[in-house]
Chains A and B, each alone.
Chain A
């Protein structure tokens, strides 16, 4: 919350220059159903810490959590500064007609556009945490079992319903052959021979998404898993091969326990493939060779990047978490949340006297004064900004 002092130039040496962090006012947080506590509370922490009043709109799809947020959470907060609004997409649309001083939205790019368009009517600043297809490049030079462990855990965690989960793999045909048994190994080790009965595997959130995912199982060829059970919204940890770029599974964000492997002939081809698509929220590269990892990093863009692992970086609060392009705008976590929900007000306090010093700037203008002012304005201290 402290004012941040700013360096002054010669013209403002006697002034006090600083940036003041102020709350915006009334903040709206719209959160999704996949990490319904995390993706509601973490922005809420930032909004509250920055001094705002908050309206929370949790997802109506994660009903259990919605109820707790609506009925239990307010008991812990000052309800003159905090409220929960419940409802579906219609109610959310109506909510968005109101004027807010900041809107924080986590969800799909499609709805992100709706939110931004609504915000534009009131010139409300926004942060949009969206999604996309997060590519995962696996180099030939790596240990397949290690990579498979990491890939599998991050793909099937929360039944694949994670905005930063690896969405698809790009690797050589040779690597694919080595990865497949390693992935099967990892899946069996994590979830047993009968994943449907593993206590460690989650479920798809609702029927609509279940049907969507079931359709994706028809793309390419099922190499591992592929089972589904509508009665309890179960989809087995699945790996697909022989998928085409035009297949549905390569067109939309999967958001489920399905991992397609696509073969490429080289690192360059992989990078080209990635760069021809929308910038993703997360990008992964696995290789024993740090040059390869760095090349992928240097030649692509994404919200976040992780070499040789999955999305655990999201737990490092010193890193800003956010997307770019279609995967979002703005960022948060840790201090970034506080800064996101604050107006950074530039302040300069000058002495009320010492008017004589100002004489050089007043008309009638003279060329000497002009030269002097030009010099004073160009002055800078030795410290870097």
Chain B
């Protein structure tokens, strides 16, 4: 028996009744989200610590504050965003009322991943709600603690006739996708993105896919190695490397590599101490399945920094590519309290909570393009350095691969930065820093090519979850003016009509 059918019907009925249309309703929902974040701050931090061993600092800035910021932005701007957008008219439509109306699509499905389980669920949710949709949320079953809170606590803050949470693994998600939605927002791997888009095609459902890839990072000779190393290291090892926009690999000259290595070691030691394993500021990799994958990656090239693999502290790499829909089976969904590995039982101590396992901040050198670490998105605390002979070679290398979600270039010379920007393509780009562009709600966040389609954040979220309906309202009279267009056609009439239809009217405003 498919109980989801009932849920979908209930939500659609609420939508058809016009419940979500008024600004007041949407404001109330957004305020509910705000209270959810504020009243459950500690609970959320604990859950994030449990799932990913996120420090309070990282939870704060990459999950809670970002989500809160989006809610606040939407609350401040909702009425302005909802307003009909007037557009310039031509001579033929001078007396008409011409505008674009933003309408909700209806029933929206948001499928979220496990790496930033709060952020990547709530930020799209803000957009969907602000735009007036009813929403079904499908959080990741892999980040179990957050999943529980989203399923049990969050609904209390929202109108449950317009909002529901669906739970389950890949099988349940596949079944969910058989239903018809009016919009699907998916964050996850390209592999699963294809599955989602194919399912959406059956119902002609529009989609936004926030995917991933290997984000290149070009480091010019003309830069300060320590500054670059600080920035590289922080953005690479933040959340134990499990960030879709983290620098995935570095391209630099052999000379630069020599200067970067000690600087990276410096940064890592400064950030995580001599014994990163026991640093409270280093997170954990989410589960065992990817442990094997990451461990394998450690065999590529040569380990220049880190690379420790401790039996009692497992390095587990999580493959974002396969986790969302393909992970199944007990070994991927670890119980919060116990982990079995090779017959040994691991029980959490006070520092290492829950199921997460540690990966040492690692830097690899001497990697080949054909090595596994250069083939798949790393999604872990491993940074390969690849040497190139010139900027041109680096740009060529980048352009022969799939367009990434993010692209980075470090140089004191702004011309170099401009060149990398001008000669490559990616979802987002940052010169001389890591993924700070993500924190700016005034920039559209999204991929291109295999790294995704569509974008969101801030007003872009509202626009993504809205249908932009072109409206032209005419007065019912003045039929005489229409005489020009009716048959029997004449070339004189045609000339006059063409002139009236022309784009340029008396006002000089650009479109």
Q: Which listed residue, B442, B472, B486, touches A7 by the CB 8 Å rule?
A: B442
Q: What 0/1 readout, one digit per residue, does chain A (285-301) give for beta carbons within 8 Å of chain B?
A: 01110100110010101
CB of B428 within 8 A of CB of A345, answer: yes
CB of A349 within 8 A of CB of B414, answer: yes
| Chain A residues with CB under 8 A of B472 | 304-307, 309, 312-313, 316, 319
CB of B470 within 8 A of CB of A348, answer: no
A232 within 8 A of B: no
**Chain A 322-379 interface residues, beta-carbon cutoff 8 Å to B:** 322, 324-326, 328-331, 334-335, 343-353, 355, 358, 361-367, 369-370, 373-374, 377-378
The 4 closest A-B pairs by CB, nearest first: A365-B57, A120-B197, A116-B201, A318-B87
**Chain B 54-100 interface residues, beta-carbon cutoff 8 Å to A:** 55-58, 60-61, 65-66, 68-69, 72-73, 76-77, 80-81, 87-90, 92-93, 98, 100
CB of A377 within 8 A of CB of B444, answer: no
| Chain B residues with CB under 8 A of A367 | 56-57
| Chain B residues with CB under 8 A of A137 | none
Contact A12-B440, Cβ < 8 Å, known A318-B87, A321-B470, A348-B431: yes
Contact A345-B57, Cβ < 8 Å, known A153-B486, A301-B103: no
For the complex formed, measure the closest distance between the CB of A269 and the CB atoms of chain B, giving whole angstroms.
15
For the A-B complex, the count of residue pairs with Cβ-Cβ distances under 8 Å equals 313
A17 within 8 A of B: yes
Most central of A198, A275, A363 by chain B CB within 10 Å:
A363
| Chain B residues with CB under 8 A of A350 | 430-433, 436
CB of B445 within 8 A of CB of A346, answer: yes
A334 to B87, CA, bound (A): 12
Contact A303-B470, Cβ < 8 Å, known A377-B61, A385-B73: yes
A303 to B66, CA, bound (A): 33
Most central of B16, B190, B226, B468 by chain A CB within 10 Å:
B468
A228 within 8 A of B: no
A11 within 8 A of B: yes
**Chain B 423-462 interface residues, beta-carbon cutoff 8 Å to A:** 425-433, 436-437, 439-446, 448-450, 452-455, 458-459
A142 within 8 A of B: yes
B343 within 8 A of A: no
CB of A130 within 8 A of CB of B204, answer: yes
A9 within 8 A of B: yes
CB of B425 within 8 A of CB of A22, answer: yes
Known: A346-B429, A361-B61. 7 other contacts (CB 8 A): A123-B190, A153-B487, A305-B469, A313-B470, A355-B224, A358-B231, A363-B281
A20 within 8 A of B: yes
Chain B, Cβ-Cβ closest to A319 = B470
| 7 pairs from A and B in contact (CB 8 Å cutoff) | A304-B472, A305-B471, A306-B474, A315-B90, A317-B503, A318-B98, A358-B230
- Judged by DSSP, the binding face of A is mixed
Most central of A117, A302, A365, A367 by chain B CB within 10 Å:
A365
B329 within 8 A of A: no
Contact A17-B437, Cβ < 8 Å, known A325-B182, A378-B65, A378-B69: yes
A301 to B87, CA, bound (A): 20
CB of A346 within 8 A of CB of B194, answer: no
A308 to B482, CA, bound (A): 12
Chain B, Cβ-Cβ closest to A127 = B206
A193 to B58, CA, bound (A): 79
Q: What 0/1 readout, one digit per residue, does chain B (110-154) give for beta carbons within 8 Å of chain A?
A: 000000000000000000000000000000000000000000000
CB of A191 within 8 A of CB of B443, answer: no
Contact A119-B197, Cβ < 8 Å, known A348-B429, A377-B69: yes
For the complex formed, measure the closest distance between the CB of A160 and the CB atoms of chain B, giving whole angstroms.
14
CB of A324 within 8 A of CB of B467, answer: yes
A363 to B240, CA, bound (A): 13
A305 to B84, CA, bound (A): 13
Surface stretch bound by B, among A57-65, A143-151, A210-218, A240-248: A143-151
CB of A123 within 8 A of CB of B450, answer: yes
CB of B487 within 8 A of CB of A17, answer: no
A283 to B18, CA, bound (A): 19
| Chain B residues with CB under 8 A of A369 | 57
Q: Which listed residue, A19, A304, A318, touches B89 by the CB 8 Å rule?
A: A318
CB of A374 within 8 A of CB of B432, answer: no
Q: Which listed residue, B209, B440, B476, touches A308 by the CB 8 Å rule?
A: B476
B417 within 8 A of A: yes
B477 within 8 A of A: yes
Most central of A143, A377, A378 by chain B CB within 10 Å:
A377
| Chain B residues with CB under 8 A of A200 | 487-489
Chain B, Cβ-Cβ closest to A313 = B472
